[in-house]
Amino acid sequence: MTGRKDWDTYFMDIAYMASTRSQCSRRRVGAVLVQGKKLLGTAYNGAPMGVQDCSEAGCMLVEEFEVKLVDGNEQMVRKQRCIRTIHAEQNLLLFTDRSDREGSSVYVTDQPCWTCANMLANSGIKEIVYHRAYPKDSDKVNALMTDCGIVLRRLEAYVPPAGILTDVMN
């Protein structure tokens, strides 16, 4: 098919455009709020206003142990995570009105982490559409969304616009 973009692609493209504002080199996340076909907000992951971000002060790394399946065996893997930023989904909630969120959809470049999913579950939205998987919290998040009756959809065939940095450091 040529020509016009479908709505999913259109809004995910905008989420990826928002992600280009992020200054965290470990993961650039963008999120947009959509009511029907109307764009009601955009956000990305970043430090609070008025304080240094990751590009200025470096990432604020914490180490965590994660259980991972390696060749069929569970192994403890040490991982680093940047905690300097407010996540894109959280910024989206901070900068949109509850009345705009009721019954709306969030398009987000990455599957929400547990904390963001928990907050989105209480935000009034009814659907989350994402592109990149986030396996660490995936099982918990899927179960939560089922319990809350929120639709969680992955755009597996989606390809981000050319020229956008999509590297992720896990």
Q: Does 116 bind Zn ion (CB under 5 A)?
A: yes
For the CB of residue 83, give the shortest distance to Zn ion in the complex, in Å: 8
Query: Looking at beta carbons only, is 75 or 80 nearer to Zn ion?
Result: 80
**Residue span binding Zn ion (CB under 5 A) among the ranges 67-75, 77-85, 119-127, 135-143:** 77-85
Q: Does 43 bind Zn ion (CB under 5 A)?
A: no
89 in catalytic set: yes
Which among 66, 89, 127, 156 is annotated as catalytic? Answer: 89
Whole-angstrom CA distances from 100 to 30, 105, 134, 151 are 18, 10, 27, 18
Query: Looking at beta carbons only, is 59 or 121 nearer to Zn ion?
Result: 59
Helix (H) or strand (E) holding 35: strand 30-35
87 carries a ligand binding annotation: yes
Query: Looking at beta carbons only, is 11 or 130 nearer to Zn ion?
Result: 130
Binding residue for Zn ion (CB under 5 A) from 87, 101, 131, 136?
87
Q: Does 113 bind Zn ion (CB under 5 A)?
A: yes
Structure tokens belonging to residue 6: 């479908």
113 carries a ligand binding annotation: yes
Backbone angles phi and psi of 43, in degrees to 5: -160, 160
Handedness of CA 118, 124, 126, 132 (dihedral sign): negative
Binding residue for Zn ion (CB under 5 A) from 12, 32, 59, 150?
59
Which of 99, 160, 169 shows the shortest CA–CA distance to 130?
A: 160
For the CB of residue 115, give the shortest distance to Zn ion in the complex, in Å: 5
Query: Looking at beta carbons only, is 59 or 93 nearer to Zn ion?
Result: 59
Query: Concatenated DSSP letters for 36-83?
Result: TTEEEEEEE-BPPTTS--HHHH---EEEEEEEEEETTEEEEEEEEEE-
Which of 53, 43, 49 shows the shortest CA–CA distance to 20?
A: 43
Give the interface with Zn ion as residue ranges (CB under 5 A).
24, 54, 59, 82, 84, 87, 113, 116
Q: Could you list the active site residues?
A: 89
